[in-house]
Amino acid sequence: MSHPVIELDQVALGWRDRVALRDVTGQFQRGSLTAVVGPNGAGKSTLIKGLMGTLSPLRGQIRLTDEARSDIACLPQVGELDRSFPISVYDLVAMGAWRRVGAWRRFRKEEHERVLHALQTVGLADFGARIIGTLSGGQLQRALFARLLLHDARVLLLDEPFAAVDRATTDDLMALMHTWNSEGRTVIAVLHDLEMVRTAFPQTLLLAGQVVAWGETASVLSPENLHLARHLCAGDYL
């Protein structure tokens, strides 16, 4: 029997007098693999910020189990990162150990080995000394996935993890997401590639400023639901 790790009850999210997402009610089950899709402006990234707690609901409630509240990690959009900051790939990945290491504890040998293993897992074994500003888009995404490996969280939120990434990188990172899910972790990812969603994600949440459909992917991504989402957002579906 499955159990929810995140529950939303009539949730509205936005800023001041602008509501970006309204009346969201539903559950993310423990160990589920869910794609969040919708037209531009549908509220997908807003939802991720709400689930992470960086954006408080204007109305309604977001309830996280103790597991989710204490053991959640997020991969942000690449565009939100300051790539001019002179930090090495190694240090970027090592930031994922923050919860275990904290601000003042010594970075022990086992944590160093975790960083090296994570870099090897994502194909960046020789990139530790590189400054992140020198990386390609695909290499940076691999480094961010390595940082998630260091987090070792049970609930993972990924905001457009495959944007501006080549096919080989996408395939490698998608395989890593499936590995996480096979370990019983809850994975929620904002995506645009509907064919990938159809083939790789059992559950889908379709947004258009509100919930259009939420459930099994084949049912959610029907022509009727996609047409309704386009109509509600008054834009082209990507």
Q: How confident is the model at residue 106 (pLDDT cuts 50, 70, 90)?
A: low
Q: Are 37 and 63 in contact (CB under 8 A)?
A: no
Q: Where are the alpha helices (DSSP H) in 122-166?
A: 137-151
Distance of alpha carbon 23 from alpha carbon 4, whole angstroms = 19
Angle at 92 between CA 166 and CA 117, to 5 degrees: 75
The residue ranking higher by pLDDT, 183 or 236, is 183
The share of the chain scoring above pLDDT 70, in percent, equals 94
Q: How confident is the model at residue 103 (pLDDT cuts 50, 70, 90)?
A: low
Q: Are 133 and 158 in contact (CB under 8 A)?
A: no
| CATH of region 1-71+155-161+188-238, choose from 3.40.50.300, 3.40.190.150, 3.30.1120.10, 3.40.50.2020 | 3.40.50.300
Whether the pLDDT of residue 238 is over 50: the answer is no
Summary mean pLDDT of the chain: 91
Question: Hey, where are the domains in the chain?
Answer: 1-71+155-161+188-238
The structure's pTM equals 0.91
Least confident of 70-74, 100-104, 115-119, 229-233: 100-104
Distance of alpha carbon 82 from alpha carbon 95, whole angstroms = 15
pLDDT digits (tens, 9 = 90+) for 192-222: 999 999 999 999 999 999 999 999 999 999 9
